[in-house]
Each structure stands twice: as C-alpha cells, then as structure tokens.
Structure 1
Amino acid sequence: MKSYRYLLQAISYLYGGSTRLRNYLYDHKWLSSAPFPLPVICIGNLSSGGTGKTPHTEYLIRLFKDTYKVATLSRGYGRKTKGFILADEYSTAKNIGDEPLQYFKKFGHQISVAVDEDRVHGIKELCIRNNIEIVLLDDAFQHRRIQAGLNILLTGFYHLYSEDTLLPMGRLREDKSQAKRAHIIIITKCPDTLDESLQKEIINKLKPEKKQEVFFSFIQYAKYLRDYYENEVPLSTLQKKQVLLITGIEQSEPLVKFLKKKCSQLIHLSYPDHYKFRTKDYSEINLIFKDLAGEKCFLTTEKDYMRIRDINSWAKCIFYIPIFTRINRKNTFDQKIIDYVRSTTRVGKIL
C-alpha cells in the first residue's frame, strides 16, 4: 500500500512539474496567448470536474442572450467527432458532447453553440459565421492559448481547491497557485444554511488576492420535470412513485438528498461522470426497474438525459429535472460581468 502511495506521489510530482513549466512559459511570454477584440469569458476550474460549470455557463447565457449575440464554445468532451461543429437540430451528444447539446436544446437559436478542440480557431469561425459579440468558454481555464478577458474560477463547497492536491493523488489539474489567474472565484454547490461566518472562513482558506472577488452559489432544482417532448410535469408527480434515478455526474449527493424528500422510494444507480451507457447497462437497469412494484418512473439529470435521449427506446419513458444556479450578491455579480462586457467592445475584424 505504501509503495502504491509513493508511486502516486511520484506521478503527481512529475505531472505538477509539467504543468508548472507550461504555465511558466505562458506567464513569461515564451508561449503566446491569443487576444480577441471582443468579450471572452472563461468559466473553468482547477479540479477534474464536479464544480457546476454547465449551470453557471447557463446563468451567463440568460444574463446576455436578449441583448447580445452570445456563443458558447467548448471542446465537446466525449464526442466522436473532430474539428469545428456548430450545433443544429440534428446534433447529438455523440457529435458535439452532452453539455453543448444541453445548451442548444435549452436555448435553441437564441445563442450559437459550437465545439472545437482548437478554441482559437473556434472563436474565429464563430465570428466569421455568426458575427458573435460575446464568447463563453466552457471549461477552458487550462486552455491558455486564448487570452480570456475575464476568468471565472469555480470550486466546490465540499471540495475546495485549497484543500486538494494534484492528480492522481488528488483531483487538481494544475497547481492551486494558478488560482491567481482568476478575476472572480465562485464557491459552488453551497448548502442553504451557509452564513456569513462560514463564508469568511472559506475565503480565509482560499486566500484570494486583492484583485479577486469571491461569490457563493447554490443549486436550485426546478419545481417541475421535463419529458421527451419538453413538456413540464409537476414535481409533485413523484410523491406516490418509486423512482429509479440514473446519474452519470461527478457529484450526485445534492440531487439524491433533494429527491428523497419528493418521492415515496428512491433507488439510485450511480455511474462515472460523462458515462457512455451501453446496451448491457440498459438491460441491467431494465431488470431493476421491472422489480419495482406499484407506480414507478425513470428519472435522470439534465446532462445525462442528453446522452440517454439518443437511445429511442429509452428517451420517451424517462424524465429529467432541470437545474439552475443562484448566486449570492446577485446584483453585484451581474454588474461586474456587465461592466466587463461593456468595457470590451469589438474593434475591427478577427482574422
């Protein structure tokens, strides 16, 4: 056991050295970051996942979609394709990824949703094709080839980056000192009981720089479910049902805790983040579902549903629950983002 731990420590040391070197080269201009003459907002984290990037990106979409031409750009984690793809009615999780598909299904053509592993190229394509005014970079804190004008760093309430270590010993993708690149830090998935004294305690743990402002955000589940046809179904429907919950997300505990109060019985099947469900999985899940007596239903998360909906035999008999983000000092947060956008006007063409 000790030798295994030493091996992980050695790998973490080597991994940390490589990321520190890379950041040093960017910090000292040996590697270049491409600036763009329009607002580019990065929403990311230091850890390997589970901080709530998707609902926070959606928060910013709602903030700007009615007044600006907004685009989301990500690499499209888990997709089977390469290069630049602009989401449309024929997009699936397989060709653009589950999170970009979620953005498109939720907001449609109110915004542009694109994926490209080369995000410098992706921004150029978005500006040429759709004359975009704001770009939201989803999960791009480590993508330093782009010089984002505003970096928003997320860290989970129960998994603060200040208390974590580098992969594979911990969950950090780069050294915690790189939090200094953030303009805004948001502690996500906070409990509703969070008070000012605990907020101060957490801020002291993070030790933010003077230029950095810290906010706290909370998960807010919808008071309804959605079905395959995007109909709203009252959450109270679950009260007399046995629910088989299927999740493939990093942290499902808050959702499980919430749903236990809403249904008569909850059975939870948990899979790894971004899990690609196989035919074998569906067969096993069906057997468990058949054993449930009385009124019952399938339920999943919004992100998982984007992958499950590709399986026609399943999509029409499963519900998902939408999720939203609530941020403390909302007016202050919104104004800070709005001020950045207004001060960063697009100048000239993007080549």
Structure 2
Amino acid sequence: MYGKSIRINRWLLPLSWLYGFATGVRNRLFDWGILPSEEFDIPVISVGNLAVGGTGKTPHIEYLIELLQPKYRVAVLSRGYKRKSRGFVLADANATARDIGDEPYQIKRKFPDIAVAVDANRRRGINRLKELLPDLDVILLDDAFQHRYVSPLISIVLTDYNRALHLDKLLPAGRLRESRHELSRADIVIVTKCPADMKPIEFNIISRWLHLFPYQHLYFTTLDYGNLQAVFPQPGTPREIDLSTLSKKSGVMLLTGIANPRPMQQYLARYLTAQEELRYPDHHNFSDSDLHQIANRLASLHGEENYIITTEKDAARLRSAALDEPVKRALYYLPIRVRFMQHNGTSFDTKITDTIYKNRRIKRPRR
C-alpha cells in the first residue's frame, strides 16, 4: 500500500511551519530572480528528491551512466556527504570513501572511466569540471534539487513508494525538505522502490495523488537484486553467491547503514527464514567499537557457514575499515539495479538522450 510507513511527529509541527516559511521565502526569491540561478552551456541533469534520504538516487544515477556512457563523456558531481575532505575534489584511482563520500566512491569504483567529483558548491564544481575536462558532454548532479543556484537542463525528482508525498510533512515533523508543491519544478518524477507486483489501479491512484502538470513526466521503478558479491574476494571463498543456494543451516547477519533497509529485508526474507540484524544510521562511519561489535555478532552466529550481507553503499565504507579477517571472509554485498515499470524504460531513455543530443556542445556523439 502506497505510503503505508508514514510516521509524523505531530508535536513538532509548529517547527515545521517555521521551517516551511523559511524555505518558501527562499524559493520565491529564486522564482523572482532576486537570488541568481545559473544555466550552463553543457547539459546538466539533476537527480534529487523532496524528502531526506532513502529514495534510491545512486542506482538511478548509475542507470543514467549506463544509458549515456556509450555515446557521451559523462561526469557525476555530488556534494560528497560525510567526506573528510573539503572544497572541490576530482576522484582518481586512489580515492576512498573518506575522500569523496560513500556514494561517489561506489560510482567511481563501478564506472572507473567516467569523471566523478565532489563539491558542496555545485556552480563552482560544474565550472571546475568544464575547465579540467573540456570534452565533457553531460554532467549528472547528485542530490541537487534544492541547490537552486544551478538551473539544470533536466530536473528529475525521486519519491519513495513507501513514503507518500501527500501524507508527509516538512522537517522536523516529517521528512520533507520543502513543500510538496515545489514538485512543480521537476521535469520528470519517478516513484521508486515500487513492489514488482503493483496493480494497475495503484499506478492510477498515485498519479492522481501527485497532481502533476501536463509538462511533467511520471515514471515508476522497482528494484532488481543481483547475486551476492564478495566485498573482499579471497582464495577459497566464492566471489559470487546465489541466495537460493544458501543452506538453511547458514548463519546470516544483515548489516545496514542506509535510510530505509526495508525493501532489502523483504527481498532477503524470500530466501532466509531467519537472520540477525545490525542496523546503523544512514551514511554511518564505522568506528572501532562498531567493528568490534560486528565481529562479536558474527562470532555469535551458529550456522554451518556464516555470512554478513550488506548494501553496496555500506560496502564502499567498509572497504577502508580495519576489519578482522573472519569478517572480511564473511562479508558480501547485495547489488541492486532499477527497472522501469509499465514498459516505460524506453520512453524515459528516449526523452533523456533526445534532450541531450539537441543541447550538447559537441555535435558529434562519441562512438
């Protein structure tokens, strides 16, 4: 059921009203041109959301990379949340999650041939990318819907199926960064993390609740999961595991540091009758005491073979952690990909590629 997990801290609603007033004034200043919003001579695609965390921005960014990389030179620009560096950083082969943040690190590791940079100041970041990489064709902005100093060519907003916009409230009572009416600024809206067996009537109900304008395009995506992948491949341990082949006598611990692990939990429940769980906050930086706790929980499992299953984003941070060898051998991540529903993937792909082709700086796409 759409938005069934909504929880509102109603005693914080007065603070939400004040917050809403402040964000509303800020948006009107941009609308009226009092605060500047800069356009660029290179296609810029923003992928963001109205709510804090958990809508699936990274897998959608990766989808766009896979779509565009065969023909265009692509760069990703992110803030680099919780990184230890400052200012503009262009990732290289030696970059770590501490240098650029877990999500940019995950993207750079998966797509080493594209440019990945971080900068909280997106205008500065775009200009630096153009200066350093003059042959760029398109820049993907991660989590930039509220960064209105940049006016993107295409603005994509993601909203989680499990947290309906029309039921949510502004921070701090709810999780909205700004009023849901600001959704009108988006060119494309994607309802993410939808159940694979969603009924046709529910697509129509959600479409009505979102109240989109004729110029806006609505899509729905679901998550597809791959086989478990070893975070630290080692001789004598499998690099890849099909969940369906796991013995029922295996001991499994689910380790997460993401905003909403529920879809992952529901998927694993199809294959695992019972599992331990160790949950940390979103983008959690694992301390020595956390690593000690993980090792102790693994040692307490009583399976014939014991595994720790984590997310790809958590794996990005754990790769640079001082983990014990038993933890390294047991640690696997569950990869995810987005899949467009209602056979609308081709429509989305065409809209993105056609818009970039018409607005690119270099008139001949790369072969």
Q: TM-score range by the shorter chain?
A: over 0.9
Alignment-derived partner of residue 85 in structure 2? 81
Moved more, 100-109 or 280-289: 280-289
Aligned to 1:154: 158
The residue aligned with 1:344 is 359
Q: Is the contact made by 1:81 and 1:96 (CA closer than 8 Å) also made in structure 2?
A: yes
Amino acid at match of 1:323: I
- State percent identity of aligned pairs: 41
- Note if contact 1:185-1:212 (Cα within 8 Å) is conserved in structure 2: yes
The within-5 A match list for 1:131-150 is 131=134, 132-150=136-154
What does residue 102 of structure 2 align with? 98
CA contact (8 A) 2:291 2:323 kept: no
> Once the two structures are superposed, what CA deviation does each residue of 1:132-154 show, in whole Å capped at 9, x if it has no partner?
11000000000001010100010
169-178 or 306-315, which deviates more: 306-315
Deviates more, 1:112-121 or 1:314-323: 314-323
SS in 2 for 1:217: strand
Question: Does 1:301 pair with 2:325?
Answer: no
Q: How far off is 1:10 after superposition? A: 2.0
- Matched with 1:122 is 125
> Does the CA-based 8 Å contact 2:286-2:321 persist in structure 1?
no
Greater helix fraction, Structure 1 or Structure 2 = 1
Stretch deviating more after TM superposition (99-108 or 270-279): 270-279
Quote the residue 1:322 is aligned against.
Answer: 335
SS in 1 for 2:361: coil
> What residue in structure 2 maps to residue 235 of structure 1?
242
Counterpart position of 1:313 = 323
Distance (Å, rounded) in 2 between the aligned partners of 1:80 and 1:194: 41
Closer, same or farther in 2 for the Cα pair 1:9/1:264, shift >3 Å? closer
Check 1:192–1:5 CA distance in 2 against 1; reply closer, same or farther (3 A cut).
closer
Asked whether the equivalents of residues 231 and 319 of structure 2 are also in contact (C-alpha less than 8 Å), the reply is: no
1:331 corresponds to 2:339:
no
Which has the higher mean CA deviation after the structures are superposed, 223-232 or 327-336?
223-232
- TM-score (normalised: structure 2): 0.90
RMSD: 1.8
With 275-284 and 297-306 compared, the bigger mean Cα shift is at: 275-284
Q: Corresponding residue for 1:282?
A: 291
Contact 1:239–1:263, Cα closer than 8 Å, also in 2: no
- Matched with 2:270 is 261
Letter in 2 for 1:258: Y
**Corresponding residue for residue 5 of structure 2:** none
CA distance in structure 1 between the partners assigned to 2:272 and 2:230 by the alignment: 16
Compared with structure 1, are the counterparts of its residues 284 and 212 closer, same or farther at alpha carbon in structure 2 (3 Å cutoff)? same
Give the alignment partner of residue 252 of structure 1, picking from 243, 261, 274. 261
Q: Does the CA-based 8 Å contact 2:77-2:117 persist in structure 1?
A: yes
In the TM superposition, residue 226 of structure 1 has moved relative to its aligned partner by 3.3
Measured in 2, the distance between the counterparts of 1:341 and 1:232 equals 38
User: Is the contact between residue 164 and residue 172 of structure 1 (CA under 8 Å) also seen in structure 2?
Assistant: yes
Q: Which amino acid aligns with 1:332?
A: S
Aligned counterparts of 1:272 and 1:226: Cα–Cα separation in 2:
23
Gaps of 5+ in 1: none
Once the 2 structures are TM-superposed, how far is the Cα of residue 280 of structure 1 from its aligned partner? Answer: 1.0
Name the SS for the 1:113 alignment partner. strand
The 3-state SS of whatever aligns with 1:316 is helix
- Which residue number in structure 1 is paired with residue 4 of structure 2? none
For residues 301-344 of structure 1, give each alpha carbon's deviation from its aligned partner in whole angstroms, at most 9, with x where no partner exists: 00001111111425733111111000121111110111111111
Structure 2, unaligned runs of 5 or more: 1-8
Q: Which amino acid aligns with 1:165?
A: K
> Which residue identity lines up with residue 116 of structure 1 in the other structure?
D
3-state SS, counterpart of residue 338 of structure 2: strand
SS in 1 for 2:246: helix
State whether residues 228 and 332 of structure 2, in contact with CA within 8 Å, keep that contact through their aligned partners in structure 1: no
SS at match of 2:190: strand
Residue 264 (structure 1) shift = 5.5
Q: What's the counterpart of residue 208 of structure 1?
A: 212
- Whole-angstrom distance in 1 between the partners of 2:220 and 2:10: 34
Q: State the secondary structure of the residue aligned to 1:51.
A: coil
Residue equivalent to 1:42 = 46
Contact 1:226 1:321 in 2 (8 A): no
1:211-226 correspondence runs (5 A): 211-226=215-230
After superposition, the C-alpha distances for 1:173-197 in whole angstroms (9 at most, x for unaligned) are 0111100000010000000111221
- Output one character per residue of 1:37-70: Cα deviation in whole Å (capped at 9) or x when no partner: 1110000000011100000000000001111110
